[in-house]
Chain A
Amino acid sequence: MLWFALPWPLEKASAQPAQDEPGDPPACDPLGWWALRLTPHVTRLGDALLLEVSGSLRLWGGAAALQRRIFEENPALASANIAQAAIGIIALAHLRLRRDGRGVPAGGVAALPLSVLDAARLHLPLLERLGLRTWGDAHALPRAPMVRRFGPGLRAALDVAFGLVPERYPWLVLPERFDEALELPAHAESAPALLWSANRLLAALQAWLRARQQGVLAFELGWTLDQKRLNGRALPPAQSLRIRTAEPAQSMDHLRRLLAERLARTSLLAPAIGLRLHAVQTAPWQPGNAALLPGEQRRGEPLHVFIERANARLGPGSVRRPVLRADHRPEQRQRWEVVDEKNHPHPKPLPPAGEGATDHAPADALAPTWLLHPPQPLEVRGGLPWRGGAALRLLTRPCRVETGWWAEGAPASDAAGEAVARDYFMAQGAAQELLWVYRERPTSRTPASAAPRWFLHGIYA
């Protein structure tokens, strides 16, 4: 058995806002959750965190290496010490002695002062008056009268300390779902002010995810409002913001940026007093494969990170991708679909394209690169289209598109489009620009007397 005792809460954490009442265990326990990576046997005892590491010593390369690792991964611990002993409460006693600046007395367990034993704390004045100062003094008392006088607790603790009975603790287990709340140190007047406190919850979420081997897909940040009514209007008790990402994430950088962008666009109905973070959806975490060769690492962030960030900052709909459709009407051949976290295009890097890239109709090589949507009506003079004060010169013979008859009479919808009867021409304007124009052909729907209308539908650029 090898026990490590870590001070808890950390000095850093206790220096933070004053809501940490003594004796009131903090709601979330990031250090404990983090310690679960080192060993499954973690428990909180008094003001310390106890880790039983004998089972995983070999994995971490010995006690010294493990201590180094704890210090490296927990910069906040560096000022404190880790006490190490074969029995948990002895490690705890060592930790307390060191923290108080007293050295660990020579003489082993028997020489430890009773003041650092939790079970003896209630009886300290009496023990003092009896002249009992060390664990050894108390251990030497006759058993039955001692239990009668001090209760079974002290005796049981001493039995444990002297190795007569094994230690038993309620081990720390991770909650099944992450749902933590935090009281704000001060009223937050604006949404960005919430971010500072939300960072603590995000750190806790990260520790929870790491320990659970999960990645978060969606979480909800809620804040409780201080006021019930504002200007005579009833307010909801809480507001919330849901952040969603496409790939399970453990790193909080991306989520923190998304949250910051969303919070920057959110307005608080009233000052907030409490914060609650709740993991809505998680998925098993699969770390990415690292490349063996040094030059193979892809620099930059994945596509979904970029898309989600753009959507968070500029609003949904700022990123679109084409969805192609087999149709003869140019405006129906492509539809621009809003890309968000639900349908992001390529989680994996694109493979170099082979023959897949050439599956276009040969006539598309003559299609314009810009499409005007909707088509722009052209001035017609003498039966010819005009643009910019000059007649367009038609360069090709007509390319007839007459389709979409099924949409006729149906309610107008974007998906079906409309029936068209057009002759497309490639044309050249006064400034030598190449245009794609069409002339509406007379059909049964158009009045017979109407002159044919011309439209500009594309630009060769």
Chain B
Amino acid sequence: MMMLELDGCLLKSTVIVPALALVSAAHRVADWRATAPPGVWPADALAADDGGRTVSTAHPSLDVQLPGGGWPLGALIELLQPAPDAPVWPLVLPALAARQHSAGGALALVGSPHEPFVPALMAAGVRADAVLWLRADAPSARLWLAEQALACADVAAVLAWLPRARSADLRRLHLAAARRGEGLLFALRPAEAAVSASPAPLRVQVDAEDGTPVPTLRLHLLKRRGPPLAEPVLLGRCAPLRDVLAASAAGQGVSDADRAPPWAARAGLDVVRPEVGDAVVRLAVAA
């Protein structure tokens, strides 16, 4: 039996193709793939890339799990976080920078929980002169801003923190993104929203992995155009930060032992061993 899922965030339905028609000839599956109308794909595979309208996440382990090999353009991408200021930038920053470089345009941050620190964004490749911080508290104002920003040709990507968005609001945003066609839209919502339905074709729950010495992001792909993914995708930090953290973790035994004396004694402590840290680390530590 072959199950086909219709592409439809608005109309989510499953069509079961009569088993007899396909079970006799396995090679006809290949025919199906070739002739299937756009938006229809075998349920055991990722949806086909419809014309390269994705942008790579710059995390190969995540790219292989996403239809089209990256974040979809012109669609709502939902990221669910335990807290509004929980780690999410390493996940989205490379794609934002790549998008900004390839298409140009501004990066709109709607209702961010804190003030974004632009030098850090610049270090990831985002153009500082194209960051727009849109401040609004009311949920309706945030939605309106996100929708209007999507309609703007000079906005390459929208990051919207929508703690109280309803499904109908998200659908409107998704349609606005689809109308625009080439924008990158991330909606950041609380983790509790994972149980409720959403029109987003891609939903990712972002958690911090506990217990690892180097903080890692654990991604649950709650929804994608493809088969469900049981095990989470693990994502490391960006390079210089990761090295610092690794170096610090390597020296952890020493630092734990030396915790008792206060900071004054700590200043001389060799937390980052020179043989571990690269040039950047040494710079960071010595700066």
- Residues of A whose CB lies within 8 Å of any CB of B are 298-303, 305-307, 309-310, 313-314, 317-322, 324, 330, 333-334, 336, 339, 345-346, 349-353, 356-373, 382-384, 391, 393-399, 423, 426, 428, 431-434, 439, 452, 458-461
**Complex interface bits, B121-137 against A, C-beta within 8 A gives 1, otherwise 0:** 11111111111111110
Residue of B nearest to A371 (CB): B117
Q: How large is the interface on B (under 10, 10 to 19, 20 to 34, 35 or more residues)?
A: 35 or more
A371 cross-chain contacts in B, Cβ below 8 A: 114-117
- Besides A301-B151, A319-B132, 15 other A-B contacts (C-beta < 8 A): A300-B152, A300-B155, A306-B151, A306-B155, A324-B118, A324-B119, A339-B132, A345-B132, A357-B127, A365-B240, A393-B255, A394-B266, A395-B244, A395-B245, A396-B248
Which B residue sits closest to A350, measured CB to CB? B104
- Residues of B close to A434: CB separation below 8 A: 87, 215, 241, 245
Can you list 17 A-B contacts with CB-CB less than 8 angstroms, sorted by A residue number?
A299-B180, A302-B153, A302-B154, A320-B132, A336-B133, A353-B127, A357-B97, A364-B119, A365-B239, A366-B280, A367-B120, A370-B85, A391-B259, A394-B266, A399-B285, A431-B208, A433-B86
Tell me the B residues contacting A by CB distance below 8 Å: 85-89, 93, 97, 100-106, 112-136, 141, 144-145, 148-155, 180-182, 208-210, 215, 238-241, 244-245, 248, 255, 259, 262-263, 266-267, 269, 271-272, 280, 283-287
User: CA–CA, A289 to B249, complex, Å?
Assistant: 57
List residues of chain B with CB within 8 A of the CB of A367: 117, 119-120, 123
- The interface residues of chain B lying within 8 Å CB-to-CB of A299 are 153, 180-182
Query: Which residue of chain A is the closest to B216 with respect to CB atoms?
Result: A432
B154, A350: Cβ atoms closer than 8 Å:
yes
Q: Give CA–CA (A314, B133) in the complex, Å.
A: 14
Are B119 and A334 in contact, CB atoms less than 8 angstroms apart? yes
- Assuming A360-B122, A364-B119, A369-B116, is B134 touching A319 (CB within 8 A)? yes
Q: CA A358 – CA B127 in complex, angstroms?
A: 9
Separation in Å of the A106 CB from the closest CB of chain B?
59
User: In the complex, A352→B209 CA distance in Å?
Assistant: 36
When the two chains form their complex, are residues A461 and B153 in contact, meaning their CB atoms are under 8 A apart?
Answer: no
Known: A360-B122, A369-B117, A396-B272. A349 touches B255 (CB 8 A): no
Given contacts A300-B152, A301-B151, is CB(A334)–CB(B106) below 8 Å?
A: no
Q: A320-B133, A396-B284 are in contact. Are A357 and B119 (CB under 8 A)?
A: no
| Complex alpha-carbon distance, A398 and B133, angstroms | 31
CA separation between A336 and B128, bound complex, in Å?
A: 12
Q: Are B153 and A300 in contact (CB under 8 A)?
A: yes
CA distance A383 to B262 in the complex (A): 6
CB proximity of B227 to chain A, nearest CB, Å: 31
Query: Within the assembled complex, what's the spacing in Å between the Cα atoms of A362 and B105?
Result: 24
Q: Are A366 and B284 in touch, CB under 8 angstroms?
A: yes
**Using Cβ atoms and an 8 Å threshold, which residues of chain A touch B155?**
300, 303, 306
Residues of A with C-beta under 8 A to B131: 321-322
- Nearest B residue to A339 via CB reads B132
CB distance from B132 to the nearest CB of A (A): 6
User: Which residues of B lie under 8 Å from residue A305 when comparing CB positions?
Assistant: 152
Partner of A320, one of B117, B120, B135, B145: B135
CA distance A356 to B128 in the complex (A): 10
Cβ contact within 8 Å between A365 and B88: no
Q: B106 contacts A345, CB within 8 Å?
A: yes
Q: Kindly state the separation between the CA atoms of A53 and B117 in the bound complex, as whole angstroms.
A: 63
Q: How far is the CB of A437 from chain B (nearest CB, A)?
A: 11
Which residues in B have their C-beta under 8 angstroms from that of A345?
Answer: 106, 129-130, 132
Contacts of B248 in A (CB 8 A): 395-396, 426
Q: Which of A303, A346, A373, A458 has the most CB of B within 10 A?
A: A303
> Of the candidates B127, B130, B134, B244, which one forms a contact with A310 in the assembled complex, judged by CB atoms under 8 Å apart?
B134
In angstroms, Cα B272 to Cα A394, docked, is 12
Our pick among B87, B97, B153, B241 for the contact of A365 (Cβ within 8 Å) is B241
Name which residue of chain A comes closest to B268, CB basis: A397
Q: Which 3 pairs from chain A and chain B are nearest by CB? A: A383-B262, A300-B153, A350-B104
- A346 to B121: give the CA distance in the assembly, Å: 19
- CB pair B132–A314 under 8 Å, yes or no, is no
Given contacts A366-B284, A395-B245, contact A372 B114 (CB under 8 A): yes
**B179 (CB) vs chain A CBs: closest residue:** A299
When the two chains form their complex, are residues B244 and A303 in contact, meaning their CB atoms are under 8 A apart? no
Contacts of B208 in A (CB 8 A): 431-433
| B118/A322 in contact, CB under 8 A | yes
In the bound complex, CA of A391 to CA of B263 (Å): 13
Cα(A320)–Cα(B128), bound, Å: 12
In the bound complex, residues from chain A placing their C-beta under 8 Å from that of B132 are: 307, 319-321, 339, 345
Question: Would you call B145 and A314 a contact (CB within 8 A)?
Answer: yes
The answer to whether A370 touches B114 (Cβ under 8 A) is yes
A373-B262 contact in complex given A300-B152, A360-B123, A461-B88, C-beta closer than 8 Å: no
Which of A318, A334, A373 interacts with B118 by CB under 8 Å? A334
Name the A residues within 8 Å of B85 (CB-CB): 370, 459, 461
Of listed B119, B123, B134, B210, residue having the most chain A CB within 10 A: B119
